[in-house]
Every structure is written in structure tokens, then in C-alpha cells.
Amino acid sequence: MSEATLPGLETVEPVLPMTERTPWIERGPQKRLMLFSGRSNAELAEQISEKLGVQLGEIKLKTFANGETYVRYLDSIRGADVFIVQSGNQPVNDHLVELLIMIQAAKLESAGADRVVTMDLHAGQIQGFFTIPVDHMTALQLFAQYYRDKGLQGEGIVAVSPDPGRAKMARRFGQMLEGDLAILNKTRPSHDEASVTEVIGQVEGKVAIMSDDMIVTGGTLIAGADALLEAGATDVYACATHGLFPGNAFEKIAGSKLKQVTVTNTVPIDPVNRPNKIDVLPVSSLLAETILNVFADDSVSAIFAGENQLF
């Protein structure tokens, strides 16, 4: 007569012979990368999915008559690494809430993302607001290559910081362009208005290139261009990662003394009303490479050779 063994106490044979042990245990099926898009920038999400070689996941998003957002994942996401693409363009609050609800719906029993991938934060201190990993990307090298391809590099170029707070990033930008550095000292009489009181640095006889993290109304760049030209700059270019352009921003920039303004497509830009003075660079390849590195547990900083550090 044999004794019955209680469930869970059976002798478990090793998966591999003792002589063939490895530092990990393979788990099948392998983890999956899935990409979903909110309604803020579907075009960018589609471009990223093409670079990754995957289809965008099916998701139902709609807004009820009372303004409430409805989210339902139509694809099974259980056990998958889910990446959600959402921009902070208008209406900002609606897109932010939609993102939070998409995260909550993906997590099911608890709201909250496991990781944040972002590009050119407005302030480096924002990273400290998170208790989860934050992968910070920058378009600085993308812009530097863009201007170098146009022949704008060397001693005749000066990289300009629109305020003292962005001086460190402007210095890096100037080094990429093999040029000098200048800093604008500005005041804000009111929100979305800027007045440049001083140009710090030698800009006379040089082409000035201002770099910033975002453009809203364009007031800072327009005031900066006026001040730089008065200080002797021959031409003034400007670039910023996020181009919001609310209200009459297009008209103001088109009528300004700026020679050209370059932004990325992190935020969708109106192709019909966009003036010829505004150029748009795609960031889909950069985002796709970063997503792959996060998924594979590889370094994100390595993509930028460490130039994505904010401090």
C-alpha cells in the first residue's frame, strides 16, 4: 500500500540536467512588444509601427456626449510589453486624460505606467517626479545633423540659448556645430509674451541658431531674432522639438525676421496652414530604436552617446 502525495509536494525533476544549468530559465512564449496609439498623433504612431515592422494594436477610443473618454483594447495584451504613443498637443488636458485611461485599461487592476519614454522635457527636474524609470530622448543631434547638412557649421555659427536655463543644452548644440555660444537674457511681461533685454556673447557677423524644447506662440523666438539681428547677426534660424503653434502663431512666425524655424513631428503640424518658413523633421526612427532598446533591456543613452543627459 503506497501513501498518496499531497498536491504540490510531488518530486519535481530538473528541467535541465544538473551539468547543463544556465543563469536563466526560458519562458515561453517569448514576451511580445505591442504598440498602440492615442488620438493625439496617429500619423507618428503609424510611422513608428512601420519602422518596428509591427501593426498598430486595435483599440477602441471614443468620447461620450458628456465628454467622458471610453477605452477598450480589442487585441489581447495579457503578458505583453505595451507601448502607448500620445502627444501633448491641443486639447492638452483631453489627450493627457485619454493617455491615463489607456494606461489604466492596460493595467486592469491598478493604474500606472511601468516606464516613461519622453523627448526633450521642458525641465530636467520633471524626471524626479517619477518613481519609475524615465528614458529621456533628445532631438538635439537630429537638429545638429540637419544644420550641418545645410552647411551651417564652423566659426561663422553661434548657438543661442533663449534663456540662461537652457545654456547647457545650447553649449552642447554649439559643440555639435563647431560654433560659439550666446545666451539671451529675457523677461516675461505676461504669459506667452517675451522681451529680450540683453544678448550675452559675440554674434556680430555670424549666423545665429536658437534651440529650445518647444514653441508655443513663438514670442520668445521672434523677440530673440530681433535682438540678435540688432546685435549684428547676419541671419537667425530657430529649432525646437515640440511645435504647438496655437492661435495665430503661424502668422506671427511667417511675418517675423526669423529666416527659418525647424521642429519635429512629436506634435502633428497642420500641413495646410503651415508657412514655408517652418520645416518639420521626422522622429519616428529615433522613437522606434528607443522602443526596441527598452523592450530588449538595452541602453537608451547609448543611442545618443550619452548626450541625452539633462544635468
Cβ atoms of residues 77 and 106 within 8 Å: yes
Choose, from 51, 62, 186, 257, the residue flagged as catalytic.
186
Confirm whether 150 is a catalytic residue. no
Residue found under cell 535682438: 227
Cell of 80: 505583453
Residue found under cell 502525495: 5
Distance (Å, rounded) from C-alpha 308 to C-alpha 265?
19
Residue found under cell 512601420: 50
Residues in the chain: 311
Cβ atoms of residues 183 and 193 within 8 Å: no
Distance (Å, rounded) from C-alpha 46 to C-alpha 85?
10
Helices (H), 37-121: 42-52, 92-107
By the 10 Å C-beta count (0-12 exposed, 13-18 middle, 19+ buried), 221 is classed as buried
**What residues are paired with 198 via a beta bridge?**
185
Eight-class DSSP state of 257: S
Q: Determine the Cα angle at 63 with ends 288 and 76, to 5°.
A: 50
**136 three-class SS:** strand
Peptide bond preceding 91 in cis form (omega within 30 of 0): yes
Buried b (16+ CB within 10 A) or exposed e, 2-39: eeeeeeeeeeeeeeeeeeeeeeeeeeeeeeeebbbbbb
Catalytic site positions: 186
